[in-house]
Chains A and B, each alone.
Chain A
């Protein structure tokens, strides 16, 4: 046996998992198809990640937080959810959460870089880059990864963090629910004329959802989800046209809004694996749960899953148990499913509801916002779910 655990995918979820697991002294190998230079110096990709308190704690524990320049960490203090006409906001106040802020904002490329930096010095983690997995087979006692080129690697457990379109998940025969929202997600950074008061805005317009998330200074991250045909028009706009369009939509709330980066489009497909494990195989990150970005939970769930699985493996190792045994993976599956399923389904329902333009849907969403605003337990529940304050 070459290794104890092989991780397929060197994204932030895979790397964080490797770091979390490295305390066991197990021999860990990461297989990543991109070159190491890409991991070491990831470029800005338009994505700004909202991080919950729970994620903040994990990232602090594994040393990733310290790798992020403090000036690149923005706070979300409050959040407002707005209906199509920007009326009836549902307001989440950080003062009611018992914390100084609801969450944090950090650029995706900085998280990727930090994840790489904390894994690189680890003695028991081998980082193999620029290689792709051709095949994966598992037996009662180990899994075998065949690389393109024919090299075979064996380990007690194979952990896949190879994106929401995971190819190894298919190889292992795990069915996965996929929801193509028929929409495109466009992200960019914009400069503002006025202060955003560290408030995140989730706006459900009739034809698009839009999140305006506060970044340090008078900047914000904009996350637009829009039907694919409209996206083309939007992507063709000049920066000035786009800025004008956004300013109008936000009714001048931030004064003039102007584009600070390119527009980055991403296809929008939500995925949820039927099982997060198979024989000697476990799914983490987006390979397990690929969220719609509107509730900004993708990476938070990725970190949570990595933490849960590494904890289960550590417990097994402490007792001398087989770290890839089905009962251990089953416990991870149960726990992570419990942590994510309601949010996944809820988000999908919300997104459908808030992008429908029928009168009934409009009425439903208006009432939902009212219930949310005027029924404190509901609001508290949503807030806890969104911010993961209680762990």
Chain B
């Protein structure tokens, strides 16, 4: 069969950055502490879930892969909404927290400690591939986007969310969040690894994905909550991409059995 997607041309190599995993692992026990190291992610959850619901459409029955699922902050609500969730993370601690949490919540979620590359190797594909707040932590973002493209079904979608590389993301994401407000531990993010929407969409295209939607996530200080903003991509943004469908030849009348 002819390979249409560029993704499969490249070799599969791990994009996991071990130093990054070690950084997160030290706080793993804290994943479900609303006021702990992952407090900002908890605060983002309502806005992220609203965006995912709107983007994915009806969730019941869909297979969803959550790459870099951590403690299962997104896998868990998606499972409550009826999705068939696979959460994968290189942080063993996080996976054990997520597994225990899902068990206590009586939710059936498949949490895997490992690399998404292994799933791709096995040829597994999903209706929805989520790569939320993860691409800024991996080595070789290009290969990572490739990997996502390989894991999604031809009629599925890939949803990325990440921090933009702007002065605002430096001021808010690093200076404010890590140093001043101490929302996240120092060293959580490396601004140089942040990725602009233009770059990410270029990577997506190179991997055989087409840009489908782009929206920002902003913090509303007066309401003390995160919100989706269609225009302001300066801090944090979602990029939704779909596989470029192989051109279908229109049904020819000659082939019709008559």
Q: Name the interface residues of A299-356: CB closer than 8 Å to any CB of B.
A: 315, 318-322, 325-327
Q: A140: which B residues are within 8 A, CB to CB?
A: 32, 104
Asked if A141 lies at the interface with its beta carbon under 8 angstroms from chain B, I say: yes
- On chain A, the residues within 8 Å of B42 by CB distance are 327
The answer to the question of A1 belonging to the interface, with a C-beta cut-off of 8 Å to chain B, is yes
Complex contacts, A141 vs chain B, CB 8 Å: 104-105
Q: Which residues of A contact B186 (CB under 8 A)?
A: none
Say yes or no for B145: interface residue by CB 8 A criterion. Answer: no
Chain B min CB distance to A282 (Å):
16
- Look across to chain B and name the residue whose beta carbon is closest to the beta carbon of A319: B49
Interchain nearest-CB distance for A370 vs B (Å): 37
Contact string, B121-134, partner A, CB cutoff 8 A, digits 1/0?
00000000000000
B49 to chain A, nearest CB (A): 4
Question: With A and B bound together, what is the CA distance between A1 and B45 in angstroms?
Answer: 25
Which residues in A have their C-beta under 8 angstroms from that of B80?
Answer: 320-321
Bound CA–CA A320/B105 (angstroms): 12
Instruction: Determine if A325 and B81 form an interchain contact, defined as CB atoms under 8 angstroms apart.
Output: no
Q: For B106, what are the chain A residues with a Cβ–Cβ distance below 8 Å? A: 1
Known contacts A327-B34, A327-B42; A319 and B53 CB within 8 A of each other = yes
Smallest CB gap from B103: residue in A: A141
Taking the complex as formed, is B23 at the interface, i.e. its CB lies under 8 A from any CB of chain A? no
Q: Which one of A315, A321, A325 has the greatest number of beta carbons of chain B within 10 Å?
A: A321
Interface pair B105/A322, CB less than 8 Å apart:
yes
Verify A320–B104 contact, CB threshold 8 A.
no
Is B114 at the interface (CB under 8 A from chain A)? no
With the chains together, A1 CA to B107 CA distance in Å? Answer: 12
Residues of A261-295 whose CB lies within 8 A of B: none
List residues of B (32-71) whose CB comes within 8 Å of A's CBs.
32, 34, 42-43, 45-46, 49-50, 53
Give the CA-CA distance A322 to B80 in the complex, in Å. Answer: 9
**Bound Cα distance from A327 to B49, whole angstroms:** 15
Nearest chain A CB to B58 CB, angstrom units: 13
- Interface residues on chain B, number (Cβ under 8 Å): 18
Q: Is the interface of B mostly helix, strand, loop or mixed?
A: helix
- Taking the complex as formed, is B78 at the interface, i.e. its CB lies under 8 A from any CB of chain A? yes
Q: A113-168: which residues lie under 8 A (CB-CB) from chain B?
A: 140-141
B185 is an interface residue with CB less than 8 A from chain A:
no
Q: Across the interface, which residues of A come within 8 angstroms of B43, CB to CB?
A: 327
Which residues on the A side are within 8 Å of B46 (C-beta)?
A: 315, 319, 321
Q: Is B141 at the interface (CB under 8 A from chain A)?
A: no
Say yes or no: A320 contacts B34, CB within 8 Å: no
Q: Chain A nearest CB: distance from B108 CB in Å?
A: 14
Determine whether B77 belongs to the interface, using a CB cutoff of 8 Å to chain A.
yes
**B79 contacts chain A at the CB level, 8 A cutoff:** yes
Q: A47 CB to closest chain B CB, in angstroms?
A: 39
Which of A320, A321, A322 has the most CB atoms of chain B within a 10 A radius of its CB? A320
Q: Given A325-B34, A327-B34, does the pair A319, B105 have CB atoms closer than 8 Å?
A: no
Shortest Cβ distance from A308 into chain B, in angstroms? Answer: 16
B-side contacts of A318, CB under 8 Å = 53
Q: Are B34 and A319 in contact (CB under 8 A)?
A: no
Contact call A326/B50, Cβ cutoff below 8 A: no
- With a cutoff of 8 Å between Cβ atoms, the chain B residues found around residue A320 in the complex are 49, 76-81
Interface 1/0s, chain B 97-117, versus A by CB < 8 A? Answer: 000000011100000000000
| Chain A, residue nearest B105 (CB) | A141
Judge whether B45 and A321 touch: CB under 8 Å: yes
In the complex the two chains form, what is the Cα distance from A318 to B77 in whole Å? 10
Q: Within 8 Å CB of A326, what residues of B?
A: 34
- Distance in Å from the Cβ of A154 to the closest Cβ of chain B? 11
Query: Could you give 27 example pairs across A and B, Cβ below 8 Å?
Result: A1-B106, A140-B32, A140-B104, A141-B104, A315-B46, A318-B53, A319-B45, A319-B46, A319-B49, A319-B50, A319-B81, A320-B49, A320-B76, A320-B80, A320-B81, A321-B45, A321-B49, A321-B77, A321-B80, A322-B76, A322-B77, A322-B105, A325-B34, A326-B34, A327-B34, A327-B42, A327-B43
The chain B residues found within 8 Å of chain A, CB to CB, are 32, 34, 42-43, 45-46, 49-50, 53, 76-81, 104-106
For the complex of A and B, 7 pairs with smallest distance between CB atoms: A320-B77, A320-B80, A319-B49, A320-B81, A141-B104, A321-B77, A326-B34
